[in-house]
A = this chain, B = another copy of it.
């Protein structure tokens, strides 16, 4: 008999219990032995739950029970979750988690503790919800050099952008709708400003390149300044605006960033709408591989947690070699402006069209974009690819003649 503990009975925790109990018989077969949820840790009371007798408020009940082999940490945050995870791994129990903040902040350390104790720390649920990505990247694509990972990693912002594109809602109205539907939190900062996506791209980059990428070193900008005018120009040029997290290797360092980007309509990523997520991995052997599905939500995230529970039970006493190294080099993530990028620019200037010859001189071959009812004092275009530092110098020069209203990178 393998005993499991679920730590935290919020959305993901209750989903984990629900999915586990629903498919218990099949899970037992896959594990090759009996398996049960013995404890659920939560500070709240759930007297009417069918699992009422499993609840405890005392972490030590779990930590000190030698029967507990695997714990699902689904409380989130980096305080209790961090302490609990360290203690559990050190006590020889495997931990599986959906806690992206914890993995992105302390992943290297926790993986090391797991390895030293011959147990597993698994985190498929921390990126892409129900989408399999951690194992495919770590195992199936292990023979490849990973050239780039680019993904739509946050469902809330993708929902908002989809509403802006499809229904011409402005940002504030689309955010309000997302909040009403339960897709966005009351304080939507972590989603809207890209912090959530940042944690996820850090985890994928750490896994792909073997060294911890800390969120604090990754440039992150959100979608709150995207306007309907930008959306319309992008559409007319054959692009959709998406919040993209991407990471790629640059020699022995990495480039990593989260920002809104214009994604070509010829790319499948542009067709990823609503709360869906998708991750595109570009590698030297398999070329472009894309993973798509529900990036969040109760049962999709629980699906990944339960998959990890099964893997941990099946590999009792054998550490599955998922790990990356701590990184003490503050310059491991290169400055984001050192990357070459094409930029969408929308500017305001009196008689803006008259600027066109000057713009061609400044940037070379531009792609000008039109929109219905474009005012005389507005112009929009896409620049050729430049190192962003150089592009900035050009834009500074340009700002002597025009006000730059929008600047959105291309993917």
Show the binding face of A for B, using Cβ within 8 Å: 15, 19-20, 22-23, 26-27, 29-30, 32, 124, 129-132, 134-136, 139-145, 210, 268, 271-272, 283-294, 299-300, 302-307, 309-311, 314, 318, 321
19 interchain pairs (CB within 8 A)? A19-B143, A23-B144, A26-B145, A27-B143, A29-B210, A30-B142, A130-B286, A130-B287, A135-B139, A135-B140, A139-B310, A141-B303, A143-B305, A144-B303, A144-B307, A268-B292, A285-B306, A290-B291, A291-B292
Instruction: For A288, list chain B residues within 8 Å (CB).
Output: 293-294
In the complex, A160→B123 CA distance in Å?
40
Other-chain contact of A284, B22, B132, B141, B307 (Cβ < 8 Å): B22
Instruction: For A144, list chain B residues within 8 Å (CB).
Output: 19, 23, 303, 306-307
Interface centre among A29, A142, A288 (most CB of B within 10 A): A142
- Say yes or no: B140 contacts A285, CB within 8 Å: no
Instruction: For A310, list chain B residues within 8 Å (CB).
Output: 139, 142-143
A291-B291, A292-B292 in contact; A145/B286 too (CB < 8 A)? Answer: no
- Say yes or no: A307 contacts B135, CB within 8 Å: no
In the complex, A23→B285 CA distance in Å?
10
Instruction: For A272, list chain B residues within 8 Å (CB).
Output: 268
Instruction: For A32, list chain B residues within 8 Å (CB).
Output: 321
The distance from the CB of A310 to the nearest CB of chain B, in whole angstroms, is: 5
Instruction: For A23, list chain B residues within 8 Å (CB).
Output: 143-145, 284-285
Residue of B nearest to A290 (CB): B292
- Say yes or no: A286 contacts B304, CB within 8 Å: yes
A130-B289, A136-B135, A291-B291 in contact; A283/B303 too (CB < 8 A)? Answer: yes
In the complex, A292→B290 CA distance in Å?
5
The distance from the CB of A126 to the nearest CB of chain B, in whole angstroms, is: 13
In the complex, A128→B124 CA distance in Å?
22
In the complex, A145→B30 CA distance in Å?
12
- Say yes or no: B271 contacts A299, CB within 8 Å: no
Instruction: For A19, list chain B residues within 8 Å (CB).
Output: 143-144, 284-285
7 tightest A-B CB contacts, nearest first: A143-B306, A130-B286, A285-B303, A132-B140, A132-B136, A286-B303, A289-B293
- Say yes or no: A306 contacts B142, CB within 8 Å: yes
- Say yes or no: A299 contacts B321, CB within 8 Å: no
The distance from the CB of A155 to the nearest CB of chain B, in whole angstroms, is: 12
Interface centre among A23, A143, A272 (most CB of B within 10 A): A143
In the complex, A23→B144 CA distance in Å?
7
Instruction: For A287, list chain B residues within 8 Å (CB).
Output: 130, 293-294, 299-300
- Say yes or no: B289 contacts A302, CB within 8 Å: no
The distance from the CB of A205 to the nearest CB of chain B, in whole angstroms, is: 15
Instruction: For A311, list chain B residues within 8 Å (CB).
Output: 139, 142
Residue of B nearest to A210 (CB): B29
Residue of B nearest to A309 (CB): B143
Residue of B nearest to A136 (CB): B132
Residue of B nearest to A297 (CB): B287
- Say yes or no: B140 contacts A307, CB within 8 Å: yes
In the complex, A272→B22 CA distance in Å?
34
Instruction: For A286, list chain B residues within 8 Å (CB).
Output: 129-131, 293-294, 299-300, 303-304
